[in-house]
Amino acid sequence: MKIVDFLIVGGSAAGTTAAETIRTNLSDSSITIISDENYEQYSRVLLPHYIRGKVAREQVFLKKSEWYQERKIELVKGVKAEGLDTGGKKVGLSNDEEYHFGKLLIAIGADVIKWSVPGSDKTKVLYMRTIEDGDEIVKVASQSKKAIVIGGGFIGLEFASCFRMNGVSDVTVLVLEPYFWSGKLDNKSSRVLVSTLEKNGVKVLTNEEVDHFDYSNNQSKAVTKSGKVFPFDAVGVGIGIKSDLSWLEGSGVKINRGVLTNEYLQTNVADIYAAGDCAEFYDVIFERQHIVGNWANATSQGLAVGKTMGGVKTVFETASSYSINFFDGSCSFIGVTDEKFADEVVSRGSVENGKMTRIFVKTMGGVMRVVGATVINSVADVSPLTMVVKSKVDVSKYKGKLIDLSFDLKELHS
């Protein structure tokens, strides 16, 4: 058995940032990171840029082995956690080793949800999560003329863009729902987004679900339940992510959709913490449990929990946001964009002018606040809306002006 002061399970944004923060505050404590990947930390944010040829592969990597050595951080690669004994403060690993810890951080991130239909085992289904995924997309796309994308959302947008920019001439996105990203956008916002895709040679078909793959006549084809047939050379899938928390079963650590924590990212078990995509944390801005699965959030949580684990108790507080650019368009999500959480949703823009912003308003503690926003093709709205979500200011006197495009959103802070 190995003994370590700080054991971190997960070597990406949250885990590595936490390790660095702990080391900054504690020069002599022992720190070990357990990573199920075979690489030092790399950026999932830069992965699509590598696939599109905007950055070199080596630029995706953020840390070299020397970085860990200089900071006396042990990195154990290609190994998974398989069990947690909270009473004995021990974690068992897939390489049959066992670590005894003083404090534990669960920062395992999330894995792609795998997709399968009859015949899918005979083709290479592409995902976009790891550096190996990126390598495979570059290889397959360079040899392809026709591609289909399964699922909407951020990864669907990334696949459409990456396929087209790698020379795939025919790209079709198949969406099960009545319109693209119906779980997060309204119909008008979706139409603005789809219009940008269509202008760049991407077809979007809704109410379509693949029934099976057909490989007759030496051609690969996807056949939908409506009977449509789509020949393809490549298939990209983005239907969501999910953390594998099975190794925590029976440990006593509370789990809901993710590992439950308080505002300090502490679990219900002493000396055990969680951060990043796997953490369902108490959000002090929105006063509820919340999961945010993006790189910026994971990094911010790693910083906060690293301080707390190192002895400087720190509340995690941020207005989470995530943005991507696709072709000549952009898409941003800020704060909580759940219509059931908000009291009202105010829309700015139109399909005709190619921009649409939705502002989610809720009265909390007697104050009318902006709690979230979705912003399509209107970059100027992102910064002021992010600031007003974080500041929790009363916007009641401006509520009637939000719909007016001539109203400068920066005035919300005045």
Residue type (1 letter), 47: L
> Is the domain of 208 the same as that of 277?
no
Q: Is residue 325 part of a domain?
A: no
Read off the pLDDT of each residue in 206-221 and give the average, rounded to a whole number: 95
> Is the domain of 123 the same as that of 216?
yes
Q: Is residue 318 part of a domain?
A: no
Q: What is the CATH number of the domain that holds 147?
A: 3.50.50.60
pLDDT tens readout for residues 22-46: 999 999 999 999 999 999 999 999 9
> Is the domain of 254 the same as that of 232?
no
Identify the band that residue 320 occupies on the pLDDT scale cut at 50, 70 and 90: confident
Q: For residue 413, what pLDDT is reported?
A: 77
Read off the pLDDT of each residue in 269-276 and give the average, rounded to a whole number: 98
Averaged pLDDT of the chain: 95
Identify the band that residue 321 occupies on the pLDDT scale cut at 50, 70 and 90: confident
Q: What is the CATH number of the domain that holds 360?
A: 3.30.390.30
Q: Is residue 249 part of a domain?
A: yes
Q: For residue 12, what pLDDT is reported?
A: 96
Read off the pLDDT of each residue in 355-362 and give the average, rounded to a whole number: 97
Instruction: Report angle CA 91, 92, 97 to the nearest 5 degrees.
Output: 120
> Is the domain of 183 the same as that of 272?
no
> Is the domain of 117 the same as that of 231?
yes
Q: Is residue 185 part of a domain?
A: yes
Place of tokens 């390790």: 19
Task: Tell which of 237, 252, 285 closes a domain.
Answer: 237
Domain containing residue 141 = 113-237
User: CA 211, CA 288: separation in Å to the nearest integer?
Assistant: 39
Q: What percent of the chain has pLDDT over 90?
A: 92
Q: For residue 293, what pLDDT is reported?
A: 86
Task: Tell which of 221, 237, 253 closes a domain.
Answer: 237
**Contact (CB, 8 A) for 191 and 182:** no
Q: For residue 169, what pLDDT is reported?
A: 96
Least confident of 264-273, 286-295, 308-317: 286-295
Tell me if residue 42 falls in helix, strand or coil.
Answer: strand
- For the cut 90, the answer to whether the pLDDT of residue 60 exceeds it is yes
> Is the domain of 213 the same as that of 291?
no
> Is the domain of 196 the same as that of 294?
no
> Is the domain of 161 the same as that of 208?
yes
Contacts of residue 372, defined as CB under 8 A and 6 or more positions apart, other chains included, come to 333, 334, 335, 336, 337, 338, 341, 342, 359, 360, 389
Q: For residue 15, what pLDDT is reported?
A: 98
> Is the domain of 338 the same as that of 273?
no
Read off the pLDDT of each residue in 310-339 and give the average, rounded to a whole number: 93
User: CA 100, CA 363: separation in Å to the nearest integer?
Assistant: 47
Q: For residue 152, what pLDDT is reported?
A: 85
Domains of the chain: total: 3
- The candidate with the shortest Cα–Cα distance to 176, out of 207, 210, 211, is 207
Task: Tell which of 204, 237, 270 closes a domain.
Answer: 237
Q: Is residue 322 part of a domain?
A: no
292 versus 74: the higher-pLDDT residue is 74
> Is the domain of 106 the same as that of 118?
no
User: CA 300, CA 303: separation in Å to the nearest integer?
Assistant: 5
- For the cut 70, the answer to whether the pLDDT of residue 141 exceeds it is yes
pTM for this model (two decimals): 0.94
- For the cut 90, the answer to whether the pLDDT of residue 319 exceeds it is no
Q: For residue 414, what pLDDT is reported?
A: 65
Q: Is residue 61 part of a domain?
A: yes
Q: For residue 395, what pLDDT is reported?
A: 94
Q: Is residue 41 part of a domain?
A: yes
- The candidate with the shortest Cα–Cα distance to 44, out of 328, 226, 277, 388, is 277
**Contact (CB, 8 A) for 222 and 229:** yes
Q: Which pair of structure tokens corresponds to residue 91?
A: 């974690």
Do β-strands 329-335 and 344-350 pair in parallel, antiparallel, or remain unpaired?
Answer: unpaired
- For the cut 70, the answer to whether the pLDDT of residue 103 exceeds it is yes
> Is the domain of 30 the same as that of 73?
yes
> Is the domain of 34 the same as that of 96?
yes
DSSP H helices, 313-408, are 382-391
Q: Is residue 232 part of a domain?
A: yes
